[in-house]
Chains A and B, each alone.
Chain A
Amino acid sequence: SQQGEEDPQALSIQEGENATMNCSYKTSINNLQWYRQNSGRGLVHLILIRSNEREKHSGRLRVTLDTSKKSSSLLITASRAADTASYFCATPERGSNYKLTFGKGTLLTVNP
C-alpha cells in the first residue's frame, strides 16, 4: 500500500519562482526522504529528514517535517528549467529503515 502521497499531482511554474510540494503519510516514521526523477531516468536522492528534525536545507532545497500532522513539504527556491522532473517522497515501512514506500509523485514543470 502507498504510505506517502504527494500533493499536488502536477505543478507548472515559471523559471525563478518557488515550487512547493507536499507529502502526507499514514504511520509513524523514523525518517522521510525526497527523490527526483527526470523523464525516463532513474531516481536521484535529494534529502533525508529524520523524525527528530523539523527543517533541513540543501542548496535551493528546503524540507520540513511535521510529525504531528504526518506531513512533509519540499520547497525549491528560484526554480530553473532543469528542475523539471517528478518528485517523490519515500518513507520506510513500519519496522524497517530500509524498505521504502514511494508515493505517486508530483510532476513539476518549470517553464523558461
Chain B
Amino acid sequence: EAGVAQSPRYKIIEKRQSVAFWCNPISGHATLYWYQQILGQGPKLLIQFQNNGVVDDSQLPKDRFSAERLKGVDSTLKIQPAKLEDSAVYLCASSPPGRNQETQYFGPGTRLLVL
C-alpha cells in the first residue's frame, strides 16, 4: 500500500512570495490533515478535511493560508504572501474510515524556508 505522498520535499522562497504544497493521501482515506511543525516543536494542526469538506480550520491563519480538497482526494495548501515565521515543515496526514480513524498516517513533509 502506497503511503501519503507530498511534494515538493523542499522549498526556498523569499518573504512575500507565494508557495503551494501538494498532498495525496492513502487510497480510501476520507480524512486528511495539514500540520505545521516548527523546528523543535510538535506538529500543530492547521486544517482537517473529511472528504472535500472542512471539519476544522480554527488554527489556520486565513489571511495568508488557504487549503482545498476539491474532489475529496488530493489536497493543496497555499501560503500567500509568506512570512519569515512560516519557515517550518508542512506535514500531510490521512486516516482511514471507521474505528481506525484515530490513527493518522503521515507523509514525509515539505520543508519550507522563507528568506
Contacts and interface: CB of A to CB of B under 8 A. Distances in A.
Interface of A: 2, 31, 33, 35, 40-45, 48, 88, 90, 92, 96-105
Interface in B35-74: 40-45, 48, 56
Given A98-B95, A99-B56, A45 B42 contact: no
Contact of A42 (B41, B45, B107): B107
A36 B102 CA distance: 16
B103 A99 contact: no
A43 B106 contact: yes
B4 interface: yes
Nearest to A40: B111
Chain B residues touching A, range: 20 to 34
24 contacts: A2-B42, A31-B102, A33-B102, A40-B111, A41-B109, A42-B4, A42-B108, A43-B91, A43-B106, A44-B106, A45-B105, A48-B103, A88-B42, A92-B102, A97-B101, A98-B31, A98-B48, A98-B102, A99-B56, A101-B42, A102-B44, A103-B42, A104-B40, A104-B42
Interface of B: 4, 31, 40-45, 48, 56, 91, 93, 95, 101-109, 111
B104 A45 contact: yes
Contacts of A31: 102
Nearest to B48: A99
Contacts of A90: 42
Given A45-B103, A45-B105, A48-B103, A99 B45 contact: yes
Contacts of A43: 43, 91, 93, 104, 106
Nearest to B91: A42
A31 B48 CA distance: 19
B102 A42 contact: no
